[in-house]
Structure 1
């Protein structure tokens, strides 16, 4: 569906305005207003509801709507009987139509329809999706309704799907603001975090950084790969993410780097803070270092390193042989003796205790 469809000039202008409004949103009400101005027109819908995860961390969604509040005000009490919720829960971040959700079951036989009628509404068609992060955390939801018996068009479904990544990022950002209470001082809050963070503008240039960020990057990148401490490839990535284009690849928002046995997970998240007339990007880095001290690891062969990792996990010789495959228990014993000889240790416990990275 997505490959065959493109935005028309008028639609591009509306989408651009919507993206700008989402970027400036400070509340769920702001998000609702921005979406209602655009999506109700583009998708020919009669009603809209936008949900955000409860800011206090409790389960459930808070819904904002001007027209279907009678249906959603007690939603937590009957959500498990709602065919919309049940279907979108199975297909996170995917816009589904009522036809896809019902799979031939008559709408009139659903609890959702019965409650809609009881609320004085005439809802006959729906497009909806639940918004999840990559960590499978529920962050929000969106639903559009029609009173006409005519189904939503594939184009309307495609429109909403294109907006979904931007909507998810927006509700996540709003929840972050609430949780950390730093809406007016985001940079200060970033500096308080435990993981290294870079703050870049839309051109990929550094605005601020937490203390450990630059030394960490210098371990993963050669000097010629950095510009003012920022990897040139990351600058290009941020510029690509900042393009005025709804078709930006969401895979650009995260990456994993490897340096020997160490790994670093990196995420790129847009903030709403304006600095020098440009919106900023938070680049968060989480390094997962190998358990063993570097001077010991440098002495070991590849196979010995694998055996050492198994000892760190507490595996027996037979379990190590099974893990390594094509390796006998006797060969494992030879590797373990070599580990002890190279590190001056005499037992598994001593090897693991003295070998841990400080």
Structure 2
């Protein structure tokens, strides 16, 4: 950025103040409040945003801003198309201006410009940096101008000087958020019995209870799963997460059947949120057939139906009516069931035949 620059006395005092404020920050809102006013004034910017990486590992950042939220609220969905992200990700912890980022590409041809215009913003100039530590994305800083006048080299230099302090602050935040996030997830999962998946709005798994994965592997073939989540469920959660259309309430539950076994599944928004979006809680309840498998494989299809009737406590006449056969035929089937299982009464058959 040219010859070496030095802090002015007022800038030195401001740096000391910002360092202290950032050191006391415990939330992203604290970080924003600590630096936004000073940076907006010193860099003569119209908008400011600071972001923290998502602890669930999804792409993009959770942003705090007072003025450009319409542009950044769904950032994870288009982050790879953002020219600011593409330029700063290959030069971490370096403040770049829009000219350095675009490298001759017209701003008006970018997805970022299109989305900003759609959000009612007139963004024409940018200063930004992605913050990394140990090769992991920790956060980001972005300043915007609505006028065509470029940011000064002095503004770019000043922002560069405080990047290390902002980086340490958001890295510390990520640790706080990750611990809080894990605690909230465990609380949410503990509020009910059975296997549970927690998915983000893109259908990606955030966490699961131990029984969930083996259960899904029993019900789905490997090619039907994406990172342990049924691909159809990923699409279902993405549909449930949409804001632009009315959601069909039938998407919130489903029942899968395989022979006599059933899997009841419910999709509900969790109280746990991240990046401004609620996570989805997917609870599963497997209803396995009551009859032990080693017995069931001995029976014919009709004998299995008679066995189910015995389990329900139906009398011979009731069984004959349901299965549309004679009472004598029902007796023949019951005798066969007893012979195949070594039992001598209905009560003994049902008691010994229950799945463990």
Q: TM-score, normalised by structure 1?
A: 0.49
Flag the structure with larger Rg: 2
Q: TM-score, normalised by structure 2?
A: 0.49
